[in-house]
Amino acid sequence: MAFRHTMPHARFDVTVPHSARVLDYFLGGKDHFAADREAGDRAIEAFPQLVNGVRANRDFLARAVRFLVGEAGIRQFLDIGTGIPTANNTHEVAQRSSAESRIVYVDNDPIVLTHAQALLASSPEGACAYLGTDLRNPDAILTGAAETLDFSKPVAIMLLSVMHFVTDDDQAAAVVRRLMAQCPPGSALTISHPASDLGPPELREVFRVLNSSGGPEHAVLRDRAQVERFFDGLDLVPPGLVNGWQWRPEDEAPATRDGVVFWAGVGRKA
Ligand SMILES: C[S@@+](CC[C@H](N)C(=O)[O-])C[C@H]1O[C@@H](n2cnc3c(N)ncnc32)[C@H](O)[C@@H]1O
């Protein structure tokens, strides 16, 4: 697996929570510290169904990748805000359908970098590479990704549960525009984003807890119109921008809908 990053001397501070490790805690992983567990427990206390939503987001990722490889015929993925590797990472789902799929993972958290290096191993026919780069620097992402992906062929840009960390609406829209501008027709954009207009008030409390926990990140909820703006100039594939569980459901149990409060959609570039 190719392995490059642009934060060679980065250190992570385990005394404050970080989204990648809090997510790992929610998903039952092993790569979290006391500060992550404390913040995670306070968030779950505020909104006990939260973990259902987190799992439903991973289910959406898998359904979207199956659609992108299958119906859309895409073989290249740029997955930004990867998170600590867990079950059904993008390359696993994609390469199960098409072994030659090529994936570039991007995250700005050094601990994700360490685990990705060890765990995100490609099929021999395909490729996996990892970039330690910030989403707010799309040019660096595109330059690094071009060593593994061929931008003359369709690319699926995956922004799952990460855009809410780019808190300025105009900057967030500009980042997405820049990424999609580099991709040829036939490419796709997949986004999931915690919703301000779907959930109960408890979700706001979760964000208040996580934003005040002393970690380096700040995150915002967005409403449907704010998330739809990221798809400007693209064609949303049916069923459009919907609550996560409603996007081409397969066989999820109804229980997973409880606490699922994120906007989810896939757009195609004509
Ligand atoms: C909530 S997790 C989502 C992980 C995975 N995409 C998923 O949907 O399950 C957010 C991830 O985005 C990363 N992240 C947050 N802000 C970022 C930024 N500005 N640039 C790159 N990665 C970022 C975090 O380190 C974390 O791994």
DSSP per-residue codes, 11-34: ---TTS--HHHHHHHHTT-S---H
- Of 139 and 9, which is predicted with more confidence? 139
Q: Which atom of ligand 1 is nearest to the CA of 159?
A: 6
CA of 81 to the centre of ligand 1 (A): 3
pLDDT of residue 252: 55
Cβ–Cβ < 8 Å for 55, 256: yes
Q: Which atom of ligand 1 is nearest to the CA of 166?
A: 19
Q: Is the pLDDT of residue 142 over 60?
A: yes
Question: What would the two tokens of residue 127 be?
Answer: 């490729």
Q: Which of 16, 107, 114 best tests ligand 1's pocket when mutated (most atoms within 8 Å of CB)?
A: 107
CA of 51 to the centre of ligand 1 (A): 16
As a whole number of angstroms, the distance between CA 10 and CA 77 comes to 25
Residues with CB under 6 A from ligand 1: 19-20, 23, 57-58, 61, 81-83, 107-109, 112, 134-136, 160-162, 165, 217
Q: Which of 13, 52, 165, 190 best tests ligand 1's pocket when mutated (most atoms within 8 Å of CB)?
A: 165
Work out the average pLDDT over 82-99: 92
The 10 Å Cβ neighbour count of residue 174 is 14
Q: Which atom of ligand 1 is nearest to the CA of 83?
A: 27
- Tell me if residue 75 falls in helix, strand or coil: coil
**C-alpha dist (Å) from residue 64 to 21, 37, 69, 88, 133:** 24, 29, 9, 12, 24
Q: Whose CA is nearest to atom 16 of ligand 1?
A: 165
Q: Is the pLDDT of residue 226 over 60?
A: yes
Q: Is the pLDDT of residue 2 over 70?
A: no
Work out the average pLDDT over 238-258: 83
Work out the average pLDDT over 78-99: 93
Cβ–Cβ < 8 Å for 268, 233: no
Question: What would the two tokens of residue 59 be?
Answer: 């289910």
Cβ–Cβ < 8 Å for 224, 199: no
